[in-house]
Amino acid sequence: MRVAVALAALPVLAVQAVRIIQGNDDGWAELYVRSFHNALKASGHDVVLSGPAENKSGSGSSDEDPEARTKACQYDSCPVNSGVSGSNSTDPTLNWVNSYPVTAIRYGINTFGPKVWKGAEAELAVTGPNVGTNLWVQVPFSGTVGAACYAVDDAGIPAIAFSGASSGTLAWNTSPVPTRSLVYAELATILVNQIIDSGKPYLPESVFLNVNFPKVEGSCTKASDFKWVLTRINPGTFSSPDVEWCGDDRLPTETEVILGGGCHISVSIGDAADKTTMNDAKKQAQVLAKLKDILAPLSNPPTSTFCACRRSVGQVSQELQFPLTMAPIDRCLASMARLSLMQATRPAIPSIPRFLAPAAVQTRQASVVRIKKAKKKRTIPKDFKRFNLSKRDFPQFSLCEAMRVLRAVEVGQPPASVKYEVHINLKTARNGPVIRNSVRLPHPVQSDWQIAVVCPEGSEIAQQATAAGAVAVGEETLFEAIRQENINFDRLICHESSEKALNKAGLGKVLGPKGLMPSKRTRTVVADVVRSMRDSAGAADYRERQGVIRMAIGQLGYTPDQLKANIKVLLTKIKSEASEISEDVSKEVHEVILSTTHGPGLSLNGKLRDAEEELTPAALSSIM
Ligand SMILES: *[C@@H]1O[C@H](CO)[C@@H](O)[C@H](O)[C@H]1NC(C)=O
Ligand SMILES: *[C@@H]1O[C@H](CO)[C@@H](O)[C@H](O)[C@H]1NC(C)=O
Ligand SMILES: *[C@@H]1O[C@H](CO)[C@@H](O)[C@H](O)[C@H]1NC(C)=O
């Protein structure tokens, strides 16, 4: 009772304050995300930002542990050599991680947030506003959406992804702050407060919202100029009916609404599992009920607000200049979504009793005594989740078809900056030995390795290694440089006579995570250093992480035959290794996915080209 009385005396807040984790993909120092951060704070929320150290636009659901940063962060927002992640020196609610948007929000959810919130977890995740739209076919590639889907799907936190059509890069300290950044921040905060005010659960299970703002220009320059419209991400031609709204059982698509003109904001009900529309009228109805207050009025003028938008479909498709024809991209949506299923294990966060949480959190139903049920611990299955490929839920592509789609995605990128990657999904247990080795590809992707050699100082071996091009040789001098993380090589070979000295130096902590620790098993502790150096020129390392082996497999300019040869050699090597690893460990290749630096992942069906395809390997052999 006393508690209730004390709470009743608190000032009534305009909105219930909650703990919000914030991410984006344009980089932690981009102005849009900072304006939104400030607007949420001003509204009373406890918001913690964790974004990538630099622009990681287009990286979808990629997630990789961060590596130490050598360069300054975007817009000089962190100094050189600042480590794998960092915080603003005076404001711990602003954080960066030197990796992908998904990784950044994962760190935010697991580390930065609980640190600021004294162990409590985020209640809501928001990402963006992204610089530029994220509509339909753009959605699977968006790191802003990827991070939101990670929050929903992997961390169980309701999430909203925001994107704004007005683009152009702006540093966090731009002054004065341009109107567009302020308007997007205000609009996004309005939606966040609406969702919070509607009560928990903030969103139905597995749902995320994909929100797109039109350009801030012309007659759309103040927050009050804009109207909210409930939408779908992809057209629902073959889907079950949507929730009944606007006298129709098919919601308009976000593309129609945003490109249809007018100051319309699209709010799409997305499915975090595959980044398409949540085709479940019941869940849609729950979202509709939450947003009804702010959705565009339907009676004045009658139903025209967005029903009118639907007539502009023809015009829309002409305006939409995506690099791809729709058919293949539509098919790769599902394939992309699968990549988001590669999840990293999360350390458990201790949850603190509710009464220890910041007082403002308790404003709702303060007089009702609630006992929070202990959270069920997620049991982690022994094996990595793998789908039955023959059920064909997910399309597979011939190598040529996959290359065609990926090259189309990469149009306009400088060819040298783009590489093909393979992701080999293994059927394997979570615990147990992992595959790790190096392979000489017939068409090496990187051949200019910088090699260092551990061998007795001043020995003949040292001289030979230097003559063969080693960038550093020796024992103690080299060890000291490694301890200082002064690592200017990407391979380390050790002569067997120096193995003891190497092991005594205790460098595993530094070299291990980088995959540089020499060992007999990886044939980097050797008797003939020069020969090994020669062998490893043109060799590429690979390593199984989370049941997946990822490796650069070709330059964008490679022909299908070159790529095929590389994939074949790698697969043969991995298959033989998987069968040799141990008698009681079962490990097999489950699926091979081809991707590029900015492209989606496409599952390969093992053929060079499908019989009905008119595409010839020759057509793909030109440099773009
Ligand atoms: C860090 O925070 C301070 C104080 O809030 C602010 O003045 C500064 O611009 C911030 N710097 C970055 C890079 O976020
Ligand atoms: C980030 O990079 C993408 C493409 O690489 C570009 O389209 C986008 O405008 C960039 N965003 C920022 C904020 O620099
Ligand atoms: C995969 O699905 C096919 C077709 O439904 C079925 O015949 C096959 O047994 C399944 N394989 C596994 C491993 O479940």
Residue at a domain's end among 483, 503, 537:
537
Residue at a domain's end among 315, 337, 358:
315
- Does residue 247 fall inside a structural domain? yes
Q: Are residues 154 and 303 in the same domain?
A: yes
Of residues 231 and 462, which shows the higher confidence score? 231
Q: Whose CA is nearest to atom 4 of ligand 3?
A: 391
Is any ligand 3 atom within 6 A of the Cβ of residue 392?
A: no
- Please determine, for residue 50, whether its predicted confidence score (pLDDT) is greater than 50: yes
Cα–Cα dist 317/174, whole Å? 35
Look over the chain and give the mean of its residue pLDDT values, rounded to a whole number. 79
Q: Which atom of ligand 3 is nearest to the CA of 389?
A: 1
pLDDT of residue 347: 32
- How many domains does the chain divide into? 3
Q: If DSSP states are collapsed to H, E and C, what string results for 105-132?
A: HHHHHHHHHHHHCCCCCCCEEEEEEEEC
Q: Are residues 495 and 422 in the same domain?
A: no
Mean of pLDDT values over 546-552: 86
127-131, 318-322, 522-526, 602-606: least confidently modelled range: 318-322
- Please determine, for residue 314, whether its predicted confidence score (pLDDT) is greater than 50: no
Q: Which residues line ligand 2 (CB under 6 A)?
A: 26, 30, 55, 57-58, 131-132, 167, 169
Of residues 362 and 433, which shows the higher confidence score? 433
Of residues 365 and 460, which shows the higher confidence score? 460
Name the residue of 30, 47, 91, 177 to mutate for ligand 1: max ligand atoms within 8 A of Cβ.
Answer: 91
pLDDT of residue 286: 96
- The ligand placed nearest to the CA atom of residue 96 is 1
- Does residue 339 fall inside a structural domain? no
Is any ligand 1 atom within 6 A of the Cβ of residue 38?
A: no
Is the Cα torsion angle 559, 603, 253, 235 positive or negative in sign? positive
Mean of pLDDT values over 35-46: 94
Q: Are residues 595 and 467 in the same domain?
A: no
Q: Whose CA is nearest to atom 1 of ligand 1?
A: 88
pTM: 0.53
Q: Are residues 271 and 415 in the same domain?
A: no
Closest CA relative to residue 190, chosen from 135, 129, 144, 231: 129
Q: Are residues 437 and 482 in the same domain?
A: no
Q: Are residues 609 and 465 in the same domain?
A: no
21-30, 74-83, 309-318, 515-524: least confidently modelled range: 309-318
Q: Are residues 194 and 296 in the same domain?
A: yes
Is the Cα torsion angle 212, 35, 122, 76 positive or negative in sign? positive
Q: Which atom of ligand 1 is nearest to the CA of 75?
A: 13
Q: Are residues 585 and 496 in the same domain?
A: no
- Please determine, for residue 432, whether its predicted confidence score (pLDDT) is greater than 70: yes
The residue ranges of DSSP E strands in 428-466, in sequence order, are: 436-440, 451-454
Q: Are strands 539-545 and 548-555 parallel, antiparallel or unpaired?
A: antiparallel
Are 410 and 599 within 8 A, CB to CB? yes
Query: Which two three-digit tokens encode residue 541?
Result: 């390392």
Mean of pLDDT values over 170-197: 95
Mean of pLDDT values over 329-336: 34
pLDDT of residue 161: 98
Q: What digits encode the pLDDT tens for the residues 162-173?
A: 999 999 999 999
Which single residue is written with the structure tokens 């064909």? Answer: 392
- CA distances (Å), 573 to each of 202, 545, 566, 576, in order? 49, 17, 11, 5
Q: Whose CA is nearest to atom 11 of ligand 3?
A: 388
Q: Are residues 525 and 569 in the same domain?
A: no
Q: Which of the listed ranges 29-38, 407-416, 547-556 does the model predict with the highest average pLDDT? A: 29-38
Cα–Cα dist 214/71, whole Å? 34
Q: Which of the listed ranges 16-20, 381-385, 518-522, 573-577 does the model predict with the highest average pLDDT? A: 16-20
Residue 569 gets the label, from left (phi > 0), alpha (psi -120 to 50) or beta, of alpha
Is the Cα torsion angle 396, 398, 400, 401 positive or negative in sign? negative
**Cα-trace Rg, the chain:** 27
Q: Are residues 258 and 403 in the same domain?
A: no
Q: Are residues 501 and 588 in the same domain?
A: no
- Please determine, for residue 308, whether its predicted confidence score (pLDDT) is greater than 60: no
Burial (CB < 10 A; 0-12, 13-18, 19+), residue 570, is: buried
Residue at a domain's end among 299, 315, 331:
315
- Does residue 94 fall inside a structural domain? yes
Q: What backbone phi and psi angles, to 5 degrees, belong to 472?
A: -155, 140
End-to-end CA distance of the chain: 73
Is any ligand 1 atom within 6 A of the Cβ of residue 183?
A: no
224 lies in which domain range? 2-315
Are 419 and 556 within 8 A, CB to CB? yes
pLDDT of residue 189: 95
- CA distances (Å), 580 to each of 252, 362, 433, 435, 576, in order? 55, 58, 11, 10, 6
Mean of pLDDT values over 151-161: 95
pLDDT of residue 600: 80
State the virtual CA torsion across 294, 296, 298, 301 in degrees, nearest 10. Answer: 130
CA 181 to chain CA centroid, Å, is 23
Instruction: Work out the number of other CB atoms within 10 angstroms of the CB of residue 222.
Output: 13
Q: Locate all alpha helices (DSSP H) within 445-528, ordered by sequence.
A: 460-467, 476-483, 499-504, 508-514
Share of the chain above pLDDT 70, in %: 79
> To which H or E segment does residue 526 belong?
strand 525-526
Q: How confident is the model at residue 394 (pLDDT cuts 50, 70, 90)?
A: low
- Please determine, for residue 341, whether its predicted confidence score (pLDDT) is greater than 80: no
Q: How far is the CA of 605 from the centre of ligand 3 (A)?
A: 16
Q: Residue 576: how many CA atoms within 13 Å on its side-chain side?
A: 7
Q: How far is the CA of 54 from the centre of ligand 2 (A)?
A: 10
Q: Are residues 491 and 422 in the same domain?
A: no
